[in-house]
Structure 1
Amino acid sequence: MDCEKIIYEVNNYITRQFANDPTGHDYNHMKRVAEWSRLIALDEGADPFTAELSGWVHDIGDAKLFQDTDAAYQELDDFLKSLNVNVDQREVVFAIIRDISFSKGRIPDSIEGKIVQDADRLDALGAIGIARTFAYGGMHNQLIYHEEEQKLTSIQHFYDKLLKLSQGMHTRKARQEAEQRHIFMKKYLEQFFKEWNSIERAGE
């Protein structure tokens, strides 16, 4: 396989699929996950091509983004076939993209799968993670925050998911990066609530 050509063509494929996504699952999210996957794979002594390829396509078939997940998987499989990606490699990629979701609660079997899961979760943390959270919440009519309806807000998502991610990283490089981003998010929440309550305190 011509790995460099495959990555180039997959980059173009993902551009067509996600260029106009407004939910935080856009082309640049895929690019960041792919690039982090490659970096972590090199650090771990894993296969950088498999990790990067899977990073690029990891959101194909996600039920949040595709109405027909089976059709999305089949289209991706046909596309990878057209690039002469062999059946064994395609099976590895599909195993990874089906196992990395936080909501499924799975841990991928392969080291490359664990790497892509780490890379995807890194992009849900830090400043970019905060921006993506509010982009997704806005597109799904979520309130930013509400004292009486907290479960329906974007701020609650920090407590339901984002602040839990750093403890579940599998790899050294991801753990280091996640720790910094986790601290930043905690500081952000402190500032958020300080500002949210500032008018009440100012009137005292």
Structure 2
Amino acid sequence: MDMQTIDVLKAFVRSKLREDQSGHGMDHIERVVRNAQKIIQTQACDEFVVVAAAYLHDVADEKLVEDQEKAYQEIKEVLQVNGVPVEKIEHILYIIKNLSFSQEFEGKKTELSIEGQIVQDADRLDAMGAIGIIRTIYYGGHKGNKIYDSAIKPRLLQNKSEYREESTVINHFYEKILLLNDRLNTPYAKKIGKQRQEFLEKFLKEFLEEWE
């Protein structure tokens, strides 16, 4: 794997996300990369594509940027300047455009390569367990969402516009986070996901008992 290019990408991502206050900062990116590197050891894949996509996966996230197409173009340019072959650039861009949870609404789930599945699993694992709990609460506070309201019931989301509508922090666990475990791809991620799911369920049970 071309570590020099990976180091350039890492610096590029840090420059873009250094001021993030939504739970998608560089600490999140580094955990996703570490998750991906662990999964790589269990799967035959293009390691460079996985690690590059893991570093870049939030740079053009619509939640974080005003001009998503401009962000994609900047990613493409930094890869081109560093001599990444066209087919790998296209593969990396395809992964980061199609790994998000919101892609699965309205029958729009996109088939991902094994590289894409690894990055998706690595990202989803960081939304689960203890880290996932902290990130969900942190993001909810960032957006100004209420912690909990028993009168506001969790929704069965049908489309991306509903998904982008704000709800309570606790509802977000039921509307998204608890659903991730059944959507993991690789055996390694499923093993870790099971442990994190159990921790999350215990947390929510304790939270609701204390709240009431």
Q: Which TM-score band applies after superposition, normalised by the shorter structure?
A: over 0.9
Gapped runs of 5+ residues in structure 1? 198-204
User: For 1:76-155, what aligned pairs fall within 5 Å after superposition?
Assistant: 76-105=75-104, 106-151=109-154, 152-155=167-170
User: Match of 1:7, SS?
Assistant: helix
Deviation, structure 1 residue 107: 3.9
Aligned to 1:11: 10
Q: Is the 8 A contact 1:42 1:48 kept in 2?
A: no
State the partner residue of 1:72.
71
Distance 2:171 2:112 in 1: 31
Moved over 4 A (4+): none
Task: Give aligned pairs, total.
Answer: 196
In 1, Cα distance between equivalents of 2:6 and 2:149? 44
Partner amino acid, structure 2, of 1:163:
L
1:140 partner amino acid: K
The aligned residue for residue 48 of structure 1 is 47
Give the corresponding residue for 2:159: none
Gaps of 5+ in 2: 155-166
Secondary structure in 2 matching 1:32: helix
Aligned to 1:185: 200
* Alignment partner, residue 27 of structure 2: 28
SS at 2:103's partner residue? Answer: coil
Structure 1 residues 150 and 141 mapped into 2: Cα distance closer, same or farther (>3 Å)?
A: farther
State TM-score, norm by structure 2.
0.89
8 Å contact kept, 2:53–2:119: yes
Alpha-carbon distance, 1:150 to partner: 4.1
Residue deviations 1:65-115 (CA, integer Å, cap 9, x gap): 110000000111111111111111100000100110001112443100011
Query: What is the one-letter code of the residue matched to 1:48?
Result: E
Aligned-pair identity in percent equals: 37
- Superposed CA RMSD in Å reads 1.2
Deviations 1:137-195 (A, max 9, x none): 11111001012234520100111111111111110110000000000000000110111
**Highest CA radius of gyration, 1 or 2?**
1
Q: Distance in 2 between matches of 1:159 and 1:128?
A: 16
For residues 10 and 27 of structure 1, what CA distance do their matches in structure 2 show?
Answer: 12
